[in-house]
A and B are shown apart, each in its own frame.
Chain A
Amino acid sequence: MLHTQIEHEEVVERYVRNQLAPEDRQAFEEHYFTCDECFEKVEAMERLVAGVQELARRGELGDTERQSRAPYGWLWWAFAGTSLAMMALAVATGWAFLYEIPTLKRTLIAYGATPPPQQSSIVTISLGPMPEANVPLAMLQATRGEQSTTAALPADARQLILWVELGATRYRSYRMEIDSPKGQKLLTIDGLSRGPYGALAASIPTKSLQPGVYRVKLVGQTPPPASLVSEYRLRILKP
Protein backbone atom coordinates (compact mmCIF):
# COMPACT_ATOMS: atom_id res chain seq x y z
CA MET A 1 0.00 0.00 0.00
CA LEU A 2 1.43 3.36 -1.02
CA HIS A 3 1.41 6.57 0.98
CA THR A 4 -0.29 8.42 -1.85
CA GLN A 5 -3.14 5.91 -1.78
CA ILE A 6 -3.31 6.09 2.02
CA GLU A 7 -3.54 9.88 1.88
CA HIS A 8 -5.88 10.11 -1.06
CA GLU A 9 -8.31 7.44 0.12
CA GLU A 10 -8.24 8.50 3.78
CA VAL A 11 -7.21 4.98 4.69
CA VAL A 12 -6.08 5.85 8.22
CA GLU A 13 -9.42 7.32 9.19
CA ARG A 14 -11.40 4.60 7.45
CA TYR A 15 -9.34 1.94 9.19
CA VAL A 16 -9.97 3.48 12.59
CA ARG A 17 -13.68 3.82 11.82
CA ASN A 18 -13.87 0.19 10.59
CA GLN A 19 -14.88 1.26 7.11
CA LEU A 20 -12.26 -0.62 5.11
CA ALA A 21 -12.99 -3.78 3.19
CA PRO A 22 -11.30 -6.83 4.82
CA GLU A 23 -8.61 -7.06 2.13
CA ASP A 24 -7.80 -3.34 2.41
CA ARG A 25 -7.71 -3.61 6.17
CA GLN A 26 -5.23 -6.48 5.99
CA ALA A 27 -3.12 -4.61 3.45
CA PHE A 28 -3.05 -1.53 5.64
CA GLU A 29 -2.13 -3.56 8.72
CA GLU A 30 0.75 -5.07 6.78
CA HIS A 31 1.77 -1.56 5.82
CA TYR A 32 1.73 -0.01 9.28
CA PHE A 33 3.68 -2.94 10.67
CA THR A 34 6.57 -1.65 8.56
CA CYS A 35 5.83 2.08 8.50
CA ASP A 36 6.46 4.14 11.64
CA GLU A 37 4.78 7.23 10.25
CA CYS A 38 1.53 5.49 9.39
CA PHE A 39 1.47 3.63 12.68
CA GLU A 40 1.87 6.89 14.56
CA LYS A 41 -0.94 8.40 12.50
CA VAL A 42 -3.28 5.49 13.04
CA GLU A 43 -2.69 5.53 16.79
CA ALA A 44 -3.23 9.29 16.90
CA MET A 45 -6.42 9.04 14.85
CA GLU A 46 -7.72 6.27 17.10
CA ARG A 47 -7.15 8.44 20.16
CA LEU A 48 -8.57 11.57 18.60
CA VAL A 49 -11.73 9.75 17.52
CA ALA A 50 -12.14 8.18 20.96
CA GLY A 51 -11.59 11.57 22.61
CA VAL A 52 -14.10 13.38 20.39
CA GLN A 53 -16.63 10.62 21.00
CA GLU A 54 -16.18 10.89 24.74
CA LEU A 55 -16.55 14.68 24.73
CA ALA A 56 -19.62 14.49 22.51
CA ARG A 57 -21.17 11.70 24.56
CA ARG A 58 -20.75 13.76 27.71
CA GLY A 59 -22.17 16.84 25.99
CA GLU A 60 -18.90 18.72 26.48
CA LEU A 61 -18.48 20.02 22.97
CA GLY A 62 -20.37 23.16 23.96
CA ASP A 63 -21.58 24.94 20.91
CA THR A 64 -22.02 22.00 18.60
CA GLU A 65 -25.70 22.42 19.16
CA ARG A 66 -26.93 19.16 17.72
CA GLN A 67 -24.57 16.75 19.37
CA SER A 68 -25.98 16.93 22.86
CA ARG A 69 -29.45 16.51 21.53
CA ALA A 70 -28.65 13.92 18.93
CA PRO A 71 -28.56 10.76 21.06
CA TYR A 72 -31.98 11.54 22.47
CA GLY A 73 -33.39 13.30 19.42
CA TRP A 74 -35.73 10.46 18.60
CA LEU A 75 -36.85 10.33 22.25
CA TRP A 76 -37.75 14.02 22.21
CA TRP A 77 -39.79 13.63 19.05
CA ALA A 78 -41.43 10.48 20.38
CA PHE A 79 -42.40 12.33 23.57
CA ALA A 80 -43.69 15.35 21.67
CA GLY A 81 -45.66 13.15 19.28
CA THR A 82 -47.18 11.14 22.11
CA SER A 83 -48.16 14.30 23.98
CA LEU A 84 -49.85 15.73 20.90
CA ALA A 85 -51.69 12.47 20.27
CA MET A 86 -52.89 12.37 23.91
CA MET A 87 -54.14 15.93 23.67
CA ALA A 88 -56.00 15.20 20.43
CA LEU A 89 -57.56 12.10 21.99
CA ALA A 90 -58.66 14.05 25.07
CA VAL A 91 -60.30 16.76 22.92
CA ALA A 92 -62.07 14.16 20.76
CA THR A 93 -63.31 12.21 23.81
CA GLY A 94 -64.52 15.37 25.52
CA TRP A 95 -66.33 16.47 22.40
CA ALA A 96 -68.00 13.05 22.04
CA PHE A 97 -69.18 12.93 25.69
CA LEU A 98 -70.23 16.54 26.01
CA TYR A 99 -71.77 17.16 22.62
CA GLU A 100 -72.05 14.21 20.24
CA ILE A 101 -73.60 11.58 22.56
CA PRO A 102 -76.25 13.92 24.13
CA THR A 103 -77.17 15.12 20.63
CA LEU A 104 -77.62 11.54 19.40
CA LYS A 105 -79.68 10.65 22.50
CA ARG A 106 -81.94 13.62 21.94
CA THR A 107 -82.36 12.60 18.31
CA LEU A 108 -83.25 9.02 19.33
CA ILE A 109 -85.80 10.23 21.86
CA ALA A 110 -87.27 12.59 19.30
CA TYR A 111 -87.85 9.60 17.04
CA GLY A 112 -89.55 7.63 19.88
CA ALA A 113 -86.74 5.19 20.55
CA THR A 114 -85.79 4.13 24.06
CA PRO A 115 -82.25 5.04 24.94
CA PRO A 116 -80.13 1.97 25.68
CA PRO A 117 -79.15 1.30 29.27
CA GLN A 118 -76.23 3.42 30.43
CA GLN A 119 -73.85 0.56 30.98
CA SER A 120 -74.16 -0.70 27.41
CA SER A 121 -72.39 2.41 26.18
CA ILE A 122 -69.21 1.05 27.69
CA VAL A 123 -67.42 -0.88 25.02
CA THR A 124 -64.32 -2.90 25.77
CA ILE A 125 -61.98 -3.35 22.88
CA SER A 126 -59.28 -5.92 23.30
CA LEU A 127 -56.24 -5.41 21.12
CA GLY A 128 -54.00 -8.42 21.25
CA PRO A 129 -50.65 -8.54 19.50
CA MET A 130 -51.19 -7.96 15.81
CA PRO A 131 -50.01 -10.73 13.52
CA GLU A 132 -47.13 -9.82 11.23
CA ALA A 133 -45.97 -11.58 8.09
CA ASN A 134 -42.34 -11.84 6.95
CA VAL A 135 -40.82 -10.75 10.23
CA PRO A 136 -37.13 -9.95 9.63
CA LEU A 137 -34.64 -12.05 11.54
CA ALA A 138 -30.97 -11.37 12.26
CA MET A 139 -28.69 -14.18 13.37
CA LEU A 140 -25.97 -12.48 15.34
CA GLN A 141 -22.53 -13.85 14.63
CA ALA A 142 -20.14 -14.22 17.50
CA THR A 143 -17.22 -12.03 16.52
CA ARG A 144 -15.28 -9.30 18.20
CA GLY A 145 -13.91 -7.83 15.00
CA GLU A 146 -15.50 -5.13 12.91
CA GLN A 147 -17.69 -7.57 10.99
CA SER A 148 -21.35 -7.05 11.54
CA THR A 149 -24.57 -8.91 10.89
CA THR A 150 -26.78 -6.98 8.50
CA ALA A 151 -30.54 -6.76 8.89
CA ALA A 152 -32.43 -5.13 6.04
CA LEU A 153 -35.76 -4.04 7.48
CA PRO A 154 -38.75 -3.84 5.13
CA ALA A 155 -40.64 -0.56 5.39
CA ASP A 156 -43.66 -2.20 7.03
CA ALA A 157 -41.76 -4.38 9.52
CA ARG A 158 -42.74 -3.71 13.12
CA GLN A 159 -40.42 -6.16 14.85
CA LEU A 160 -36.95 -7.50 14.30
CA ILE A 161 -36.08 -10.87 15.77
CA LEU A 162 -32.55 -11.31 17.07
CA TRP A 163 -31.29 -14.87 17.20
CA VAL A 164 -28.12 -15.72 19.11
CA GLU A 165 -26.52 -19.13 19.11
CA LEU A 166 -24.30 -19.51 22.13
CA GLY A 167 -21.70 -22.01 23.11
CA ALA A 168 -21.70 -23.52 26.58
CA THR A 169 -21.67 -20.95 29.38
CA ARG A 170 -22.30 -21.14 33.09
CA TYR A 171 -25.38 -18.93 32.84
CA ARG A 172 -29.05 -19.86 32.77
CA SER A 173 -30.36 -16.44 31.89
CA TYR A 174 -28.99 -13.43 30.08
CA ARG A 175 -29.54 -9.74 29.57
CA MET A 176 -29.28 -8.24 26.11
CA GLU A 177 -28.17 -4.62 25.86
CA ILE A 178 -28.42 -2.73 22.60
CA ASP A 179 -26.39 0.43 22.09
CA SER A 180 -27.22 2.88 19.33
CA PRO A 181 -24.63 3.71 16.66
CA LYS A 182 -23.66 6.68 18.84
CA GLY A 183 -22.97 4.48 21.84
CA GLN A 184 -26.13 5.34 23.77
CA LYS A 185 -28.09 2.67 25.60
CA LEU A 186 -31.15 1.98 23.47
CA LEU A 187 -32.80 -1.15 24.80
CA THR A 188 -32.28 -3.70 27.53
CA ILE A 189 -33.98 -7.07 27.53
CA ASP A 190 -33.73 -9.09 30.72
CA GLY A 191 -34.41 -12.73 31.46
CA LEU A 192 -33.38 -14.24 28.14
CA SER A 193 -32.97 -17.99 28.30
CA ARG A 194 -32.21 -20.67 25.75
CA GLY A 195 -35.07 -22.01 23.68
CA PRO A 196 -35.57 -25.60 22.50
CA TYR A 197 -32.84 -25.11 19.88
CA GLY A 198 -30.35 -23.92 22.47
CA ALA A 199 -30.37 -20.38 21.12
CA LEU A 200 -31.55 -17.07 22.52
CA ALA A 201 -34.25 -15.17 20.70
CA ALA A 202 -35.61 -11.69 21.31
CA SER A 203 -37.75 -9.33 19.34
CA ILE A 204 -37.23 -5.59 19.25
CA PRO A 205 -39.47 -2.87 17.81
CA THR A 206 -38.09 -1.60 14.52
CA LYS A 207 -39.31 1.92 15.14
CA SER A 208 -36.50 2.34 17.65
CA LEU A 209 -33.91 1.34 15.03
CA GLN A 210 -32.47 3.81 12.58
CA PRO A 211 -29.95 2.81 9.90
CA GLY A 212 -26.48 2.34 11.36
CA VAL A 213 -24.32 -0.11 13.25
CA TYR A 214 -25.61 -1.11 16.67
CA ARG A 215 -23.66 -2.85 19.38
CA VAL A 216 -25.43 -5.76 21.01
CA LYS A 217 -24.01 -7.01 24.28
CA LEU A 218 -25.01 -10.23 25.91
CA VAL A 219 -24.49 -10.32 29.65
CA GLY A 220 -24.85 -13.49 31.70
CA GLN A 221 -27.26 -12.80 34.58
CA THR A 222 -27.88 -15.92 36.63
CA PRO A 223 -26.17 -17.41 38.46
CA PRO A 224 -24.26 -14.31 39.63
CA PRO A 225 -21.86 -12.64 39.25
CA ALA A 226 -23.01 -11.09 35.99
CA SER A 227 -20.45 -10.67 33.26
CA LEU A 228 -20.20 -9.90 29.60
CA VAL A 229 -20.51 -13.07 27.53
CA SER A 230 -20.32 -11.79 24.01
CA GLU A 231 -20.61 -8.70 21.90
CA TYR A 232 -22.05 -8.36 18.41
CA ARG A 233 -22.41 -5.68 15.78
CA LEU A 234 -25.71 -5.32 14.01
CA ARG A 235 -26.01 -3.18 10.91
CA ILE A 236 -29.52 -1.92 10.26
CA LEU A 237 -30.56 -1.04 6.75
CA LYS A 238 -33.88 0.59 5.96
CA PRO A 239 -35.40 1.45 2.60
Chain B
Amino acid sequence: MPGATESEVLAGIQRGGADSEAALYEKYSARVYYLALREAKSRQDAEDIRAETFLRVLQAIRKGQVRSAEALPAFILGVARNVIRELYARRRQMGDAVPAEEADLTTPSHERNFLDQEVRVAVRRTMDRLKPRERRVLCMLFYEELGTEEVARQASIAPERVRLVKSRALKHFRELHRRLTSS
Protein backbone atom coordinates (compact mmCIF):
# COMPACT_ATOMS: atom_id res chain seq x y z
CA MET B 1 0.00 0.00 0.00
CA PRO B 2 2.45 2.66 -1.08
CA GLY B 3 1.30 6.18 -0.24
CA ALA B 4 -1.44 5.01 2.13
CA THR B 5 -2.33 7.41 4.93
CA GLU B 6 -2.05 6.44 8.59
CA SER B 7 -5.85 6.19 8.81
CA GLU B 8 -6.01 3.81 5.84
CA VAL B 9 -3.21 1.68 7.31
CA LEU B 10 -4.95 1.58 10.67
CA ALA B 11 -8.29 0.65 9.16
CA GLY B 12 -6.63 -1.93 6.91
CA ILE B 13 -4.96 -3.69 9.85
CA GLN B 14 -8.22 -3.72 11.79
CA ARG B 15 -9.82 -5.46 8.80
CA GLY B 16 -7.00 -8.00 8.80
CA GLY B 17 -5.18 -6.69 5.73
CA ALA B 18 -1.67 -8.11 5.44
CA ASP B 19 -0.59 -5.35 3.06
CA SER B 20 -1.53 -2.75 5.67
CA GLU B 21 0.58 -4.54 8.23
CA ALA B 22 3.44 -4.56 5.76
CA ALA B 23 2.94 -0.84 5.12
CA LEU B 24 3.07 -0.11 8.85
CA TYR B 25 6.25 -2.16 9.19
CA GLU B 26 7.77 -0.49 6.16
CA LYS B 27 7.17 2.95 7.58
CA TYR B 28 8.26 2.45 11.19
CA SER B 29 10.57 -0.54 11.37
CA ALA B 30 13.75 1.45 10.67
CA ARG B 31 12.85 3.95 13.39
CA VAL B 32 12.14 1.28 15.97
CA TYR B 33 15.30 -0.59 15.05
CA TYR B 34 17.42 2.55 15.24
CA LEU B 35 16.01 3.51 18.64
CA ALA B 36 16.53 -0.03 19.92
CA LEU B 37 20.08 -0.19 18.59
CA ARG B 38 20.96 3.11 20.26
CA GLU B 39 19.61 1.90 23.56
CA ALA B 40 20.51 -1.78 23.57
CA LYS B 41 23.80 -1.43 21.67
CA SER B 42 23.38 -4.87 20.19
CA ARG B 43 21.99 -5.73 16.77
CA GLN B 44 20.45 -8.94 17.99
CA ASP B 45 18.70 -7.19 20.87
CA ALA B 46 17.56 -4.45 18.51
CA GLU B 47 16.01 -7.01 16.19
CA ASP B 48 14.28 -8.70 19.10
CA ILE B 49 12.97 -5.36 20.36
CA ARG B 50 11.68 -4.48 16.90
CA ALA B 51 9.91 -7.82 16.50
CA GLU B 52 8.31 -7.62 19.94
CA THR B 53 7.28 -4.00 19.41
CA PHE B 54 5.48 -4.74 16.15
CA LEU B 55 3.83 -7.81 17.60
CA ARG B 56 2.36 -5.71 20.42
CA VAL B 57 1.44 -2.80 18.16
CA LEU B 58 -0.40 -5.03 15.70
CA GLN B 59 -2.24 -6.81 18.49
CA ALA B 60 -3.30 -3.47 19.97
CA ILE B 61 -4.51 -2.18 16.60
CA ARG B 62 -6.44 -5.35 15.88
CA LYS B 63 -8.11 -5.08 19.26
CA GLY B 64 -9.09 -1.51 18.47
CA GLN B 65 -6.90 -0.03 21.19
CA VAL B 66 -5.43 2.52 18.78
CA ARG B 67 -8.27 4.67 17.56
CA SER B 68 -6.54 7.78 16.31
CA ALA B 69 -4.23 7.67 13.31
CA GLU B 70 -2.46 10.79 14.59
CA ALA B 71 -1.54 8.97 17.80
CA LEU B 72 -0.05 5.99 15.97
CA PRO B 73 3.63 7.14 15.81
CA ALA B 74 3.65 8.09 19.50
CA PHE B 75 1.97 4.80 20.34
CA ILE B 76 4.61 2.78 18.48
CA LEU B 77 7.37 4.78 20.17
CA GLY B 78 5.79 4.18 23.57
CA VAL B 79 5.56 0.45 22.96
CA ALA B 80 9.19 0.34 21.80
CA ARG B 81 10.33 2.18 24.94
CA ASN B 82 8.39 -0.25 27.11
CA VAL B 83 9.94 -3.24 25.38
CA ILE B 84 13.41 -1.73 25.87
CA ARG B 85 12.71 -1.03 29.55
CA GLU B 86 11.49 -4.59 30.04
CA LEU B 87 14.64 -5.92 28.42
CA TYR B 88 16.77 -3.91 30.86
CA ALA B 89 14.70 -5.05 33.81
CA ARG B 90 14.99 -8.68 32.73
CA ARG B 91 18.73 -8.28 32.32
CA ARG B 92 19.11 -6.80 35.78
CA GLN B 93 17.01 -9.52 37.31
CA MET B 94 18.76 -12.39 35.58
CA GLY B 95 22.22 -10.89 35.48
CA ASP B 96 21.95 -11.85 31.84
CA ALA B 97 25.03 -11.43 29.72
CA VAL B 98 25.77 -10.52 26.13
CA PRO B 99 27.65 -13.42 24.53
CA ALA B 100 31.37 -12.72 24.31
CA GLU B 101 31.53 -13.20 20.56
CA GLU B 102 28.78 -10.63 20.17
CA ALA B 103 30.22 -8.21 22.70
CA ASP B 104 33.49 -7.67 20.77
CA LEU B 105 35.05 -5.64 23.54
CA THR B 106 37.79 -4.24 21.34
CA THR B 107 35.50 -2.09 19.18
CA PRO B 108 33.26 0.66 20.57
CA SER B 109 29.66 -0.46 20.24
CA HIS B 110 28.76 2.74 18.45
CA GLU B 111 31.09 1.92 15.56
CA ARG B 112 30.22 -1.75 15.59
CA ASN B 113 26.52 -1.09 15.24
CA PHE B 114 26.30 1.82 12.84
CA LEU B 115 29.06 1.13 10.34
CA ASP B 116 28.88 -1.01 7.26
CA GLN B 117 30.86 -1.00 4.03
CA GLU B 118 28.79 1.72 2.33
CA VAL B 119 28.98 3.97 5.37
CA ARG B 120 32.75 3.54 5.62
CA VAL B 121 33.25 4.39 1.96
CA ALA B 122 30.95 7.40 2.16
CA VAL B 123 32.64 8.71 5.31
CA ARG B 124 36.09 8.28 3.81
CA ARG B 125 35.11 10.09 0.61
CA THR B 126 33.44 12.84 2.60
CA MET B 127 36.59 13.34 4.66
CA ASP B 128 38.74 13.28 1.52
CA ARG B 129 36.75 16.18 0.12
CA LEU B 130 37.41 18.31 3.16
CA LYS B 131 40.41 20.52 3.77
CA PRO B 132 42.80 19.32 6.49
CA ARG B 133 41.59 22.05 8.79
CA GLU B 134 37.97 21.00 8.27
CA ARG B 135 38.86 17.37 8.94
CA ARG B 136 40.47 18.52 12.14
CA VAL B 137 37.25 20.32 13.08
CA LEU B 138 35.20 17.14 12.62
CA CYS B 139 37.76 15.13 14.53
CA MET B 140 37.57 17.53 17.47
CA LEU B 141 33.79 17.47 17.38
CA PHE B 142 33.07 13.81 16.93
CA TYR B 143 36.17 12.07 18.25
CA GLU B 144 37.49 14.36 20.94
CA GLU B 145 33.87 15.22 21.76
CA LEU B 146 34.46 18.92 22.17
CA GLY B 147 31.60 21.41 21.91
CA THR B 148 31.18 23.76 18.95
CA GLU B 149 32.43 26.80 20.88
CA GLU B 150 35.52 24.99 22.13
CA VAL B 151 36.31 23.67 18.65
CA ALA B 152 35.95 27.17 17.24
CA ARG B 153 38.31 28.50 19.90
CA GLN B 154 40.92 25.82 19.31
CA ALA B 155 40.73 26.11 15.54
CA SER B 156 40.68 29.93 15.73
CA ILE B 157 37.56 30.17 13.60
CA ALA B 158 34.05 31.44 14.23
CA PRO B 159 31.48 29.02 15.68
CA GLU B 160 29.34 29.62 12.57
CA ARG B 161 32.20 28.28 10.50
CA VAL B 162 32.28 25.12 12.62
CA ARG B 163 28.54 24.69 12.08
CA LEU B 164 29.02 25.19 8.35
CA VAL B 165 31.73 22.51 8.20
CA LYS B 166 29.43 20.13 10.03
CA SER B 167 26.42 20.75 7.84
CA ARG B 168 28.47 20.53 4.63
CA ALA B 169 30.06 17.28 5.75
CA LEU B 170 26.69 15.83 6.69
CA LYS B 171 25.20 16.90 3.35
CA HIS B 172 28.05 15.32 1.37
CA PHE B 173 27.85 12.18 3.41
CA ARG B 174 24.09 11.84 2.94
CA GLU B 175 24.41 12.28 -0.82
CA LEU B 176 27.28 9.83 -1.14
CA HIS B 177 25.65 7.26 1.10
CA ARG B 178 22.36 7.52 -0.75
CA ARG B 179 24.14 7.04 -4.07
CA LEU B 180 26.10 4.05 -2.75
CA THR B 181 23.11 2.30 -1.24
CA SER B 182 20.84 2.94 -4.22
CA SER B 183 23.43 1.58 -6.63
B153 within 8 A of A: no
Quick one: CB contact mask for B1-31 with A, threshold 8 Å, 1 for yes? 0000000000000000000000000001011
A83 within 8 A of B: no
Interface residues of chain A: helix, strand, loop or mixed (majority): mixed
B164 within 8 A of A: no
Total number of A residues with any Cβ neighbor in B under 8 Å: 62
- Tell me the minimal C-beta distance from A233 to chain B in angstroms: 11
Question: Contact size class for B?
Answer: 35 or more
CA distance A12 to B169 in the complex (A): 14
Q: Given A40-B174, A167-B94, is A48 in contact with B144 using a C-beta cutoff of 8 Å?
A: no
Q: Which of B97, B110, B124 is A220 in contact with, Cβ under 8 Å? A: B97
Q: Given A55-B123, A227-B98, is A217 in contact with B111 using a C-beta cutoff of 8 Å?
A: no
CA distance A229 to B109 in the complex (A): 14
- On whether the beta carbons of B144 and A70 are closer than 8 Å, the reply is yes
Q: Given A67-B144, A142-B92, A227-B99, is A48 in contact with B41 using a C-beta cutoff of 8 Å?
A: no
- 9 contacts across the A-B interface (CB closer than 8 A): A48-B170, A51-B120, A51-B123, A51-B124, A52-B139, A61-B127, A63-B135, A219-B100, A219-B105
Q: Which B residues contact A (CB, under 8 angstroms)?
A: 28, 30-31, 34-35, 38-41, 73-74, 76-77, 88, 91-95, 97-100, 103, 105, 108-111, 113-115, 119-120, 122-124, 126-127, 132, 135-136, 138-139, 142-145, 148, 163, 166, 169-170, 173-174, 177
